[in-house]
Amino acid sequence: MSNNSNFYFVNGVGEKAKYTNAVFPILKKRSDGLFEGLGTGFFVNEGGLFFTAAHVIRAHDSSSEELYVVHLCHEEKTLILRQVVSVISHKTTDFAFGIAKVPFNSETGEPIFNQKLTVTESLPSKGESVINFGFPLSTPTRFDPSLDSQCMLLEPFWSDGSVNEHYKDGRDTVIQPGNCIETSLESLPGASGGPVMNEDGLVFGLVSSGFDGSLTYVAPICEVLDLKIMRDNDTGEILKFREVIDSRK
């Protein structure tokens, strides 16, 4: 685990980002009303569009369970549960995107926007330094069964490492069949879907899977930037990811 001040994320205008406002745990609300941690995600625009790993999204029963993200809102000094209203998984790459409801200030009625991270389609070379961030230990717990409320320990986790190999055609046919990058990052259960950045603070991929605590495979964002995801309200044109998020070459 690392907490190196030399590393940082950047937001959509190139400034250092408050990562805990842009990166969050993803929870499912079970049929018994309790919440359960699934993984990590991160916002890529200020209105609630986010990335996570496809296998995180698939780890819930969409017919009976609701998904939520935990938005740590520094400006409002509060924690907001935002329901996920839409999710789509990529067929071959371990990527998914979703949209979380925009919350509103209870006093002013104004929307509360979130920080966003800046992504890049440029991939680091073998040996270059990388870092990931997530909330692997964010499991809600009901300490007193007689109470309706739950407590949740939000424990952020940093890890820094370097690129080992780049498997453009996939590492294998089952676990990592798509474009992936092998790194020496440490990852824990629940960190899947968390952002992985280069030395400039730009996010180039997300945590897909880990082995033995010392190898982490990263799904690169360049694989999904040309997907068409939503219709422009003014022109009616179907927009690509790169047109609705702040991506850099």
- Is residue 60 within 8 A of residue 15, CB to CB? The reply is no
pLDDT over 90, % of the chain: 31
Predicted local distance difference test score (pLDDT) of residue 114: 87
Summarised one tens digit per residue, pLDDT across range 34-76 is 788 889 999 998 889 999 999 998 877 676 788 999 887 766 5
Q: Rounded mean pLDDT of 104-130?
A: 90
Predicted local distance difference test score (pLDDT) of residue 4: 40
Predicted local distance difference test score (pLDDT) of residue 5: 44
Predicted local distance difference test score (pLDDT) of residue 127: 96
DSSP H helices, the chain, are 19-22, 54-57, 241-244
Model's pTM, two decimal places? 0.84
More confident residue, 3 or 84: 84
Beta-carbon contacts of 172 under 8 Å, excluding residues fewer than 6 positions away, are: none
Summarised one tens digit per residue, pLDDT across range 180-195 is 899 999 888 888 999 9
Distances (CA, A) of 75 to 94, 95, 151, 208: 33, 30, 22, 31
What is the pLDDT of the chain when averaged over all its residues? 81
Beta-carbon contacts of 14 under 8 Å, excluding residues fewer than 6 positions away, are: 118
Predicted local distance difference test score (pLDDT) of residue 140: 59
What is the pLDDT confidence band of residue 179, given thresholds at 50, 70 and 90?
A: confident
Beta-bridged to residue 78, according to DSSP, are 73
Which of 100, 124, 123, 112 has the alpha carbon at shortest distance from 52? 100
Residue in the block written with tokens 């609705």: 244
Highest-confidence segment of 44-53, 88-97, 164-173, 219-228: 44-53
- Is residue 206 within 8 A of residue 52, CB to CB? The reply is yes
Predicted local distance difference test score (pLDDT) of residue 2: 37
φ, ψ dihedrals at 54, nearest 5°: -60, -35
Summarised one tens digit per residue, pLDDT across range 14-26 is 666 556 678 998 9
Beta-carbon contacts of 94 under 8 Å, excluding residues fewer than 6 positions away, are: 53, 54, 55, 176, 178, 180, 206, 208, 209, 219
Q: Rounded mean pLDDT of 93-118?
A: 88
Summarised one tens digit per residue, pLDDT across range 127-177 is 999 999 888 766 655 545 555 666 666 677 888 999 999 998 777 766 676
Which of 184, 181, 187, 176 has the alpha carbon at shortest distance from 213? 187
* Dist. CA 80–CA 68, nearest whole Å: 10
